[in-house]
Amino acid sequence: MTYNLFLDDERKPSDVTWCAIGLGPWVIVRSYEEFRTYIKKNGVPDRVSFDHDLCDAHYQACFAGSHDYGDTKTGYDAAKWLVFHIGSAYPFPDYTVHSMNPIGRENITSFIENARKAGVIQ
């Protein structure tokens, strides 16, 4: 099954106007758990667009200048899970990070690109 996966707790793909996320159609998932469950059931997507903050607690921490997100998983956690779920067995999907959280966006991008440089993913 080929598909594009959009991870965001509130927005839909057409709401993203500040960066190019690629063409749809998109399957929308709203949480880390939905993200994992969908991929386990349907296989690795062709493209992923990541948001970082996936619940109100994430937004509150961000605005407070904190990086303590409690027990709730972020888009960064989803990216880490995907890297280790795929490993080097399959090509890593094309991706975009559409998060408006600049630190979260950089963390996701850096993690994926460092995994690629280290040969953890293709």
Over residues 8-52, the pLDDT tens digits come to: 999 999 999 999 998 889 999 999 999 999 999 999 999 999 999
Burial class (CB in 10 A: 0-12, 13-18, 19+), 120: middle
* Contacts for 7 with CB less than 8 Å, ≥ 6 apart: 29, 30, 35, 48, 49, 50, 51, 54, 75, 78
Q: Does pTM surpass 0.85?
A: yes
When pLDDT is averaged across residues 88-99 and rounded to a whole number, the result is: 93
Domain-embedded: residue 122 = no
Confidence of residue 58 (pLDDT cuts 50, 70, 90): very low
* Number of domains forming the structure of the chain: 1
Domain-embedded: residue 15 = yes
Q: What is the DSSP letter of 78?
A: H
Domain-embedded: residue 61 = yes
Domain-embedded: residue 53 = yes
Domain-embedded: residue 17 = yes
Confidence of residue 67 (pLDDT cuts 50, 70, 90): low
Domain-embedded: residue 72 = yes
- Assign 96 to helix, strand or coil: strand
CATH number at residue 45: 3.40.50
Percent pLDDT > 70 in the chain is 85
- Expressed as residue numbers, the domain containing 60 is 4-117
48: left (phi over 0), alpha (psi -120 to 50) or beta: beta
Domain-embedded: residue 112 = yes
Confidence of residue 89 (pLDDT cuts 50, 70, 90): confident
- 1 or 10: whose pLDDT is higher? 10
Amino acid at 7: L
Domain-embedded: residue 69 = yes
- Going by their DSSP bridges, the two strands 26-29 and 4-7 should be labelled as parallel
Beginning with the edge strand found earlier in the chain, give each strand of the sheet holding 26-29 in spatial order.
Answer: 26-29, 4-7, 47-50, 94-97
